Amino acid sequence: MKSEPPPASASSHQFALLGQRRFAPFFWTLVCGAANDNLFKFAFTVLVTYQLSVSWLPPSLAGLVIGALFILPFVLFSATSGQLTDKHDKRRMIRLVKNLEIGIMLLAAAGFLATGDWLAWQVPVLLACTFLMGLHSTLFGPVKFAYLPEALRESELMGGNGMVEMGTFVAILLGNVAGGLLIALPGVGAAWVAGACLALALAGRAVAQFIPAAPASDPGLRINWNPLSETWRNLQRAHADPMVFRALIGISWMWFFGAVFLSQFPGFAKEVLHGNEQVASLLLVVFSIGIAIGSLLCEVLGRRQVEIGLVPLGAMGMTLFTLDLYLASRSLPPSALMGVAAFVQQPAHWRVMADLGLLSLSAGLYSVPMYALIQLRSAPSHRARIIAANNILNALFMIISALLAGALLAAGLSIAQVFLCVGLANALVTAYVFVTQPEYWQRMKLLLGLAARVPGRH
């Protein structure tokens, strides 16, 4: 049986969870995993783009191929990973996933350190590791969000999810920065990357050892190995609760929205803002910090409950600040490429960074309550399978976002205009969700004090 979490005192807050065994080892395990994913991917991308000459993988396609290989396992194996999570103890699943990560990183180290006759195998081995790290993340995804509602009290769900979102995006940021810096070290970059990836995998496995037991929610489950039929079955389960189903669509849309910005930062920095690679990295930092702050604010603004009234506020902020980002960036005068020091000296660029930070903060306010709602409203017996179906939808929405953004750019739109289209589309998509599920608007009015408060939280 699941042990009951200790009572939460009125003065406790989400950061207090970092001092508790039921959350802290799990949190640091996921941080190590997210950092490792991105350190490996970014270092590999830089290696292929700047340091190697591979005839069959030109630099212009390297990032696309690496990203696609990483996402592919989410489409292929999410349905299976959700079933495995419901069938087995979640602590055991986490440890198995971290063991797999160590094996993948040993193979990756061999790829990074390849010399002589083995050099021809370097890129194929690292591409295989990219796919396997995607598989590692696919297996961990359902465990991550199914574990929280078992380890935390309902009043801690918003804070716990906020911590997870914050930790994930900070880990992504640090992983990208570390990967770029380490692979650029002359002569020893590949060795440092190999060592750092293996160290993170070992650290993640070490802290996973302290995660408390989380018993299986459906130990008698018979695994359906057909991903198509299982995904359809899980979507039907989610559709039985309109709030859960629309939350799945809403979260997937957020990943569509975010993927457009993240994929276009280098081009936006160069072509629109006239900045170099350092400016592109600065945009990533601002975006990640915004998501982290928005995620952490959810517990305070939601008064320690799963407050879906934050979702419309976040959606409106995403559209509003995207529109202002377009207005702020379309009138920038042409200039030579500048570094961060010159970039931040111009007042017009501070408006751009403020818009970027506030739209990502709004995305944090938008997504965290939806994740908490899914965890709260899904039946424990198949909660992980619902989350796995969400992961598939997220991957498909991200793939569609890349295709549509590419089509708009090919049609002659500027990157700023693509951002404008996404901002307008966000208004339409989220309006559909909120009109068909008016409880979001009702909760927002209660949150803002525009309506009389009635019993019921969500």
Question: pLDDT by residue (tens digit) across 33-71?
Answer: 999 999 999 888 888 877 776 667 776 667 778 888 898
Q: What is the pLDDT of residues 85-132, one digit of tens each?
A: 999 999 999 999 999 999 999 999 999 998 877 778 888 999 999 999
Element (H, E) at 392: helix 383-410
Predicted TM-score (pTM) of the model is 0.81
Contacts of 344 (CB under 8 A, 6+ apart): 350
**Residue 194: closest CA among 98, 134, 106, 132:** 106
**pLDDT value at 290 more than 50:** yes
Same-fold call for 18-209 versus 227-458: yes
297, exposed or middle or buried, with CB in 10 Å at 0-12, 13-18, 19+? Answer: middle
Do 373 and 243 meet the contact criterion of CB atoms below 8 Å apart? yes
Residue 2 has a pLDDT of 47
Q: What is the pLDDT of residues 369-424, one digit of tens each?
A: 999 888 888 888 888 888 888 888 888 898 888 888 888 888 889 889 999 999 99
Mean of the per-residue pLDDT values of the chain: 87
Choosing among 3.40.50.720, 3.90.320.10, 1.20.120.1200, 1.20.1250.20, the CATH entry for 227-458 is: 1.20.1250.20
Give SS3 for 74.
helix
Q: Give CA 25 to chain center in angstroms.
A: 20
Higher local confidence (pLDDT), 304 or 195:
195
Q: What is the pLDDT of residues 429-449, one digit of tens each?
A: 888 878 888 888 888 888 887
Do 158 and 307 meet the contact criterion of CB atoms below 8 Å apart? yes
% of the chain surpassing 90 pLDDT: 39
Mean local confidence (pLDDT), 321-325? 95
**pLDDT value at 277 more than 80:** no
**pLDDT value at 3 more than 50:** no
Size (the chain), residues: 458
**pLDDT value at 142 more than 80:** yes
Mean local confidence (pLDDT), 198-223? 93
**pLDDT value at 162 more than 60:** yes
CB atoms under 10 Å from CB of 366, counted, come to: 27
Secondary structure (DSSP) of 138-179: HHHHHHHHHHHHHHS-GGGHHHHHHHHHHHHHHHHHHHHHHH
Domain ranges of the chain: 18-209, 227-458
Q: What is the pLDDT of residues 333-382, one digit of tens each?
A: 777 788 889 999 988 899 999 999 999 999 999 999 999 888 888 888 88
Residue 51 has a pLDDT of 75
User: For domain 18-209, which architecture applies?
Assistant: Up-down Bundle (1.20)
